[in-house]
Amino acid sequence: MAGLYSCQQETIRLDGYEVHGIDVSRYQGKVDWKKVIAQDIDFVFLKATEGQSLVDSQFQSNWKQLSDLEIKKGAYHFFRPTVSSIDQAKHFIKTVKMDFDDLPPVLDIELMDGVSKAAMVNSLKSWISIVETHYKVKPIIYTNQKFYNKNLAGHFDDYPLWIARYNNYQEPEINGTNQWSFWQYGNKGRIDGIEGDVDFNVFRGNALELDNLTSQPPTVLSLNK
């Protein structure tokens, strides 16, 4: 994610934030999740899908393993603006079976792929509408700070933002009225249980506020009359 904006030096974990997380894809290979979680990692986002047909080769294995552990997990879709947003949404829904306490689905948009800003925004809105209706929770939008401020500001103010900004640990500066909820502050983190680099993230709030982002438990009907 945000590969065009890679850090040059190892990413050091930030102090001053209560909730820490990582995101992974097939590039991290086989992960020892018990080791990872033991190092004060509170949430994980996994790459699930891309375009209308690609499924990350590690997604299903990682998703199943994390379902058995005490950690918040979420899945993201890498969006391709030239591909039907309807097909992309259906592909994600077919691939990702969410539990009620999972983090919302994530729409990862980093490239224009030659389409106009208006066409790209409309495609994103279509994907979001379909996915939100299916999972009954507002998706998170992931992108880098520059892309958001140039192309997305003002269009998705009601949706949680996950912003990549790798700039000397300075928090994202967002145009418009929205605020970031997740901040990816570096992509060269090192942690036991993962070989090689991994993205480091923080959540803006506390653990209870992270819980409030998830889907709610199914309604239990009262038997009292």
Active-site positions read 23, 110
CA distances from 25 to 76, 156, 185, 199, 204 (A): 10, 26, 17, 10, 23
Residue 83 CB coordination number (10 Å): 16
> Burial level of 153, CB count in 10 A (0-12/13-18/19+)?
middle
**Beta carbons of 44 and 162 less than 8 angstroms apart:** no
Q: How far apart are CA 109 and CA 196, in angstroms?
A: 24
**DSSP code, position 62:** H
Extract the tokens encoding 186: 């570096």
Widest pairwise Cα distance in the chain = 64
| Crossing angle (nearest 10°) for helices 117-135 and 85-95 | 30
CA distances from 137 to 123, 148, 156, 215 (A): 19, 21, 14, 6
